[in-house]
Structure 1
């Protein structure tokens, strides 16, 4: 394939040829480590929390301590030390065969990126509540914006929950939101209205993903922002289940014997003569 130097892609690549450019920052040896205009050792260490640093590194925005505290507790809400949860189960199985921590925990985190649990819920939840707010601002009633979505055989992302009804994490985070001094913004207000309607009509309510998306939409976060910030959302729970299994006798997490497996395939049969 011949190259076309008039192609805009080539121009862009040539501008970056043999050099790394960054808007984030970097280490100037003998000077300082810079991060979005801050000297990390002089301006940030001892002055901000790890969650403030996480948001700064991801988005370029340094949040205040209250918002960072809210995000930290948001992580706690998805870090259950329960090895029945599938991402935790993977880490526990890895720990049971004495896998090194980084490999085991990375595998557990990778398994959390699902559509019903973990970082994978962020995009649909955020997209729904932002669209719902636009629809309401354009005059749709609460009934119309819910029915229009359900009538097209679509679910309401961020509402209802598998296995259990209600979500104790929403109650806890709503309380924390008020304790930290956050006012109820337009996305959160609409999400709570939808939840109240669904509770009356269908016995369902907002789940943690829906509440988190609505609250953080009011704080000005985008889908790319949240998907990146929440990449390690379940990590503390994964750590817990890995550590417990790794400390136990090797192979003792969910061991199986042959008779524990129920075979439902073709019955045993004789091989034909050659």
Structure 2
């Protein structure tokens, strides 16, 4: 019986064998460290901000200082020093065990990669507003767009919040957008129009992920761009909660005693004896 299974094609692997190729850059010892065509020490150090470098390293494009400032403030909006927040709690617990900073902070960042908060939301928020923009351009109404999501406003990526109504971060970043001189682009305009509709009909509104995705869609950022850029989104808040817990005696963060736990399971019972042979 013959098999239709094709032999593996190793051509691409063979072409890369024993060498590393990069479109990003590299260090030529004794010459320069190159980054997307720039000499880092000669062209970039002292000339651009860390956030401009972050975008350059991630996307290959060097943004202007206004875009970098806007992004930097996005990070501030997601770096709350509150150890009740999921990812911050992980870092605080690590600090309470006297774990090393790198281990604690990276654990907290890892805990932030969820679908309901943190960097994990951005892919769905950006995909939704980009599709919604296309739908409107093709003549669909806001009602059509919302009903397409099964009529459930909580299934609209970038809208509503699980704990509170409204989002103070949207207000702050919308103000900053105008202060920096950004015009309202087509994605931002539609995002705010949907928000106004939902406020009137459902009492819900745009959240920070939705606003950020819409604004950055107008700046030409793609889904891969944003999911990579936002990987460290919560880092400053995580560090704050780790530092506070690490500065206290070990075990001070959320200590528990046996009587603090209410057991609601089965009552004590004898273990069945093993039958004799």
| Shorter-normalised TM range | over 0.9
Report the 3-state secondary structure (helix = DSSP H, G, I; strand = E; otherwise coil) of the residue aligned with 2:148: helix
Aligned mates of 2:83, 2:154 — CA distance in 1: 31
What value does the CA root-mean-square deviation take over the aligned residues? 1.6
Report the 3-state secondary structure (helix = DSSP H, G, I; strand = E; otherwise coil) of the residue aligned with 1:22: coil
Aligned mates of 2:98, 2:272 — CA distance in 1: 44
Identify the residue that residue 203 of structure 1 maps to in structure 2: 203
**Structure 2 unaligned blocks of 5 or more:** none
> Structure 1 residue 238: deviation in Å?
0.1
Aligned mates of 1:272, 1:147 — CA distance in 2: 58
Identify the residue that residue 184 of structure 1 maps to in structure 2: 184
> Structure 1 residue 153: deviation in Å?
8.8
Q: Deviations over 1:35-78 (max 9, x none)?
A: 00000000000000000000000000000000000000000000
Identify the residue that residue 73 of structure 2 maps to in structure 1: 73
Residue 237 to residue 152, structure 1, CA distance change in 2 (3 Å): closer
Aligned mates of 1:72, 1:272 — CA distance in 2: 63
Aligned mates of 1:154, 1:92 — CA distance in 2: 30
Report the 3-state secondary structure (helix = DSSP H, G, I; strand = E; otherwise coil) of the residue aligned with 1:34: strand
> Structure 1 residue 184: deviation in Å?
0.3
**Structure 1 unaligned blocks of 5 or more:** none
Q: What are the residue-to-residue correspondences of 1:1-274 with 2, within 5 Å?
A: 9-151=9-151, 155-274=155-274
TM normalised by structure 1 equals 0.96
Aligned mates of 2:179, 2:38 — CA distance in 1: 30
Aligned mates of 1:154, 1:49 — CA distance in 2: 37
Residue 203 to residue 39, structure 1, CA distance change in 2 (3 Å): same
- The answer to whether the 8 Å contact 2:188/2:211 transfers is yes
Aligned mates of 1:163, 1:153 — CA distance in 2: 15
- The answer to whether the 8 Å contact 1:82/1:241 transfers is yes
Report the 3-state secondary structure (helix = DSSP H, G, I; strand = E; otherwise coil) of the residue aligned with 1:150: coil
> Structure 1 residue 152: deviation in Å?
7.8
Report the 3-state secondary structure (helix = DSSP H, G, I; strand = E; otherwise coil) of the residue aligned with 1:184: coil
Report the 3-state secondary structure (helix = DSSP H, G, I; strand = E; otherwise coil) of the residue aligned with 1:164: coil
> Structure 1 residue 267: deviation in Å?
1.1
TM normalised by structure 2 equals 0.95
Q: Deviations over 1:245-269 (max 9, x none)?
A: 0000110000000011111222101
Q: Deviations over 1:154-204 (max 9, x none)?
A: 711101111110000000000000011110000000000000001111111
Residue 196 to residue 91, structure 1, CA distance change in 2 (3 Å): same
